[in-house]
Chains A and B, each alone.
Chain A
């Protein structure tokens, strides 16, 4: 019986390019976020008890 080729390929060229682009975008996003001190915004929100999360609207 003929079966489809079962080997899970390494990334195709398109997938490799997509991965490289996404890595580049990720690096840019992190850099911009850090330069804009967004970690402070995350911290500000995360150190307050999220009333919605615990079911007190």
Chain B
């Protein structure tokens, strides 16, 4: 239990530092302006709105949509390459440790209230809802900008405009609070986006990371890479006693010994922290291989 407590503190510190490092332009929050320096050429790994007054980097989903909406039909190779690189190296570790909006939902989930576990109580609904991420990615992030571009010449970043609650929280609220000129322009769209944010916030109190599980297009992208990412989970069969503690502890309800590298695992590490046998390792490939060799497993037995 001490392990788990230490891990949770460590993860909170890393999440806080990631938020601060990615949004270190603090004067922007006072002036109601955004950072316009060269660092914004690089995308941040998490769902971090580039219109946040503090943001030092660009949002990967916003950049992807704008690239796809480009009137000159240029494929956004750079953004696709960066997303792929983040996914191949870290997978959904980014969701669990670096994404500011994921942390926001986790903090809300700490509020004492009855908790909903859809994976247990409504397994079928849960499985269906998991496809929401892919639907959001293909429908609003990719297809809508592309199709609108065909019809009107320039597509719109539909996910950012109509859904993204991270944008409302990190950019909309601080900018409208500090910038009077913008405040006067807020209309029905802002009310709609505030409603989306409020809905996600209320659901986050009841359900662990509902947006990450069911709606986040970035989670869908990194989930695709989770099975082959360099940072991964390994379970030693010689140490595992099938006690099931890891799966019961997993906040994302991933069956760790059977599908630990599946698309839903956010690499929070709680499974490894509670394993009484120390059978679960999380990290980059090399130490996992060494561990396998030590436990006498050959390629053929896998």
Please report A residues at the B interface, Cβ cutoff 8 Å.
3-11, 15, 18-19, 22-23, 25-34, 36, 38-43, 45-47, 49-57
Contacts and interface: CB of A to CB of B under 8 A. Distances in A.
Contacts of A47: 34-36, 40
A42 B81 contact: no
Contact of B167 (A5, A31, A41, A50): A50
Given A10-B285, A33-B81, A45-B50, 17 more contacts: A7-B236, A7-B257, A8-B235, A11-B228, A22-B84, A26-B88, A29-B77, A30-B81, A34-B78, A46-B40, A46-B41, A46-B58, A49-B182, A52-B160, A54-B168, A55-B190, A56-B190
A18 B58 contact: no
Closest 7 CB pairs of A and B: A33-B78, A52-B161, A55-B190, A29-B81, A30-B81, A53-B167, A6-B257
A43 B79 CA distance: 12
Interface residues of B, number: 73
Interface in B9-44: 34-36, 38, 40-43
The winner among A11, A34, A40, A49 for most chain B CB atoms within 10 A is A49
Contacts of A30: 77-78, 81-82, 85
B258 A6 contact: yes
Interface of B: 34-36, 38, 40-43, 49-51, 55, 57-59, 62-63, 66-67, 70, 74, 76-82, 84-85, 88, 156-157, 160-162, 164, 167-168, 171-172, 175-176, 182, 185-187, 189-194, 225, 227-228, 233-237, 240, 242, 257-258, 260-261, 285, 288-289, 292, 297, 302
B123 to A, nearest CB: 19
Contacts of B51: 49-50, 53-54
Contacts of A19: 88, 228
Given A32-B77, A33-B79, A50-B157, A45 B58 contact: yes
A23 to B, nearest CB: 6
A53 B55 CA distance: 13
Contacts of B58: 42-43, 45-46
Given A40-B41, A55-B186, A8 B172 contact: no
A26 B86 CA distance: 10
A42 B171 contact: no
B61 to A, nearest CB: 10
Contact of A29 (B43, B84, B176, B289): B84
A53 B171 contact: yes
A10 B233 contact: no
Given A45-B62, A53-B62, A54-B172, A6 B156 contact: no
24 contacts: A6-B257, A8-B235, A8-B260, A10-B234, A25-B84, A29-B81, A36-B77, A38-B78, A38-B79, A42-B43, A42-B67, A42-B78, A42-B79, A47-B36, A49-B51, A49-B182, A50-B50, A50-B160, A53-B168, A54-B51, A54-B176, A56-B186, A57-B187, A57-B189
